[in-house]
Amino acid sequence: MVELSVLQTRVASVLKESQFRDNRRIDVSSGDVFGLLGVLKQEFGFDMLIDITAVDCLEYPGAVDRFMVVYQLLNTESGERLTVRTWLNLPDPTLPSACSLWRGANWLEREVYDMFGIGFTDHPDLRRILMPEEFVEYPLRKDYPLKGRGERHNFPVITRSES
Amino acid sequence: MPLSPVDPDAVDSSEREYVWTLNFGPQHPATHTTLRLVLTLDGERVLNAVPHIGYLHSGFEKLGEHLDFNQYVTIVDRMNYVSPLANEIAWHHAVEKLLNIELTPRCRYLRTILAELMRLHDHLLNVGTTALDLGGFTAFLYAFQQREKIYDIVETASGQRFHTSYTRVGGVLFDVNNEWVDKVRTFIQDLPRTHAEIHRLLTKNRIFVERTKGIGYLSREDAINFSATGPVARASGVARDLRKDEPYLAYADLDFDMVCSRGGDCYARYLVRMQEILESLKILKQAVENIPAGPVNIDVVSDIVLPAKPAVYRSIEGLIQHFEVLMPNRGYDVPLEQVYAATESPNGELGFYLAGNGETRAYRARTRPPSYIHFGMFPHMIRGHQLGDVVAVLGSINIIAAELDR
Q: How would DSSP label each residue in B342-404?
A: EEEETTEEEEEEEEE-SSSBEEEEEEE-HHHHHHHTHHHHHTTSBTTHHHHHHHHTT--HHHH
Give the residue-averaged pLDDT of B386-393: 88
State pLDDT tens for residues B242-264. 998 889 888 988 999 999 998 88
Give the residue-averaged pLDDT of B127-152: 89
CA angle B59, B65, B68 (to 5 degrees): 120
Instruction: Give A69's contacts in chain B (Cβ within 8 Å).
Output: none
The pLDDT of residue B284? 92
The mean predicted confidence, pLDDT, of chain A is 86
Q: How far apart are the first and last CA of chain B?
A: 36
The pLDDT of residue B339? 92
State pLDDT tens for residues B48-57. 888 888 888 8
Residue in chain A nearest B221 by alpha carbon: A47
The pLDDT of residue A17? 86
Report the gap between the CA of A162 and the closest CA in chain B (Å).
31
The matching CATH number, chosen from 3.30.460.80, 3.30.1120.130, 1.20.140.10, 3.30.70.141, for A4-154 is 3.30.460.80
Contact B143, B124 (CB under 8 A): yes
Give the least confident one: B172-176, B179-183, B194-198: B172-176
Confidence category of residue B4, pLDDT binned at 50, 70, 90:
low
Per the omega criterion (within 30 degrees of 0), is the bond before B307 cis?
no
Burial category of B222 from C-beta neighbours within 10 Å (exposed 0-12, middle 13-18, buried 19 and up): middle
**Does residue A150 carry a pLDDT above 70?**
no
ipTM of the complex, rounded to two decimals:
0.86
Report the gap between the CA of B146 and the closest CA in chain A (Å).
33
**Does residue B1 carry a pLDDT above 60?**
no
Give the integer Cα–Cα distance in Å for B147 and B77: 17
Confidence category of residue B384, pLDDT binned at 50, 70, 90:
confident
The matching CATH number, chosen from 1.10.3720.10, 3.40.50.10470, 1.10.645.10, 3.40.50.2300, for B60-100+103-297+335-405 is 1.10.645.10
Instruction: Give B245's contacts in chain A (Cβ within 8 Å).
Output: 79
Burial category of B216 from C-beta neighbours within 10 Å (exposed 0-12, middle 13-18, buried 19 and up): buried
The pLDDT of residue A67? 92
Give the residue-averaged pLDDT of A36-42: 89
Kindly list the residues of chain A whose beta carbon comes within 8 Å of any beta carbon in chain B. Answer: 20-23, 47-51, 53, 55-56, 59-62, 70, 72, 76, 79, 81, 83, 102-104, 106-108, 111, 115, 128-132, 139-140, 146
CB pairs under 8 A between A and B: 107
Rg (CA), chain A: 19
Give the integer Cα–Cα distance in Å for B374 and A104: 9
When scoring A50, A77, A128, A137 by the number of chain B Cβ atoms within 10 A, the one with the most, hence best to mutate, is A50
- A72–B224: do the CB atoms touch at under 8 Å? no
- B338–A70: do the CB atoms touch at under 8 Å? yes
* 296-335 in chain B: CB under 8 A from chain A: 335
Confidence category of residue A125, pLDDT binned at 50, 70, 90:
confident
State pLDDT tens for residues B268-326. 999 999 999 999 999 999 999 999 988 888 887 777 888 888 888 999 988 888 888 88
Give the integer Cα–Cα distance in Å for A80 and A44: 10
**Does residue B69 carry a pLDDT above 80?**
yes
Give the residue-averaged pLDDT of B92-98: 91
Q: Which residues of A33-42 are buried (b: 16+ CB within 10 A; e: fewer)?
A: bbebbbebbe
Give the integer Cα–Cα distance in Å for A3 and B331: 39
- B363–A23: do the CB atoms touch at under 8 Å? no
Give the integer Cα–Cα distance in Å for B318 and B308: 8
Q: Which residues of B114-129 are buried (b: 16+ CB within 10 A; e: fewer)?
A: bbbbbbbbbbbbbbbb
Kind of pairing between the strands at A81-88 and A23-27: parallel
Give the residue-averaged pLDDT of B196-210: 90
Contact B375, B39 (CB under 8 A): no
**Does residue A149 carry a pLDDT above 80?**
no
Helices (H) and strands (E) counted in chain B, each on its own, are: 18, 8
Q: Where are the domains of chain B?
A: 8-52, 60-100+103-297+335-405
Q: Where are the domains of chain A?
A: 4-154
> How many CA atoms does the CB half-sphere of A25 hold within 13 Å?
17
Give the integer Cα–Cα distance in Å for A95 and A85: 12
Residue in chain A nearest B226 by alpha carbon: A104
When scoring B340, B357, B375, B383 by the number of chain A Cβ atoms within 10 A, the one with the most, hence best to mutate, is B340
Instruction: Give A128's contacts in chain B (Cβ within 8 Å).
Output: 54
Give the integer Cα–Cα distance in Å for B336 and A62: 9
**Does residue A160 carry a pLDDT above 80?**
yes
Kind of pairing between the strands at A67-74 and A48-56: antiparallel
Give the residue-averaged pLDDT of B320-348: 85
Q: Which residues of B250-285 are buried (b: 16+ CB within 10 A; e: fewer)?
A: bbeebebeebbbebbbbbbbbbbbbbbbbbbbebbb
Give the residue-averaged pLDDT of B192-215: 90
**Does residue A132 carry a pLDDT above 50?**
yes
Confidence category of residue B8, pLDDT binned at 50, 70, 90:
low
Confidence category of residue B133, pLDDT binned at 50, 70, 90:
confident
The mean predicted confidence, pLDDT, of chain B is 87
Amino acid at A47: D
Instruction: Give B355's contacts in chain A (Cβ within 8 Å).
Output: 55, 60
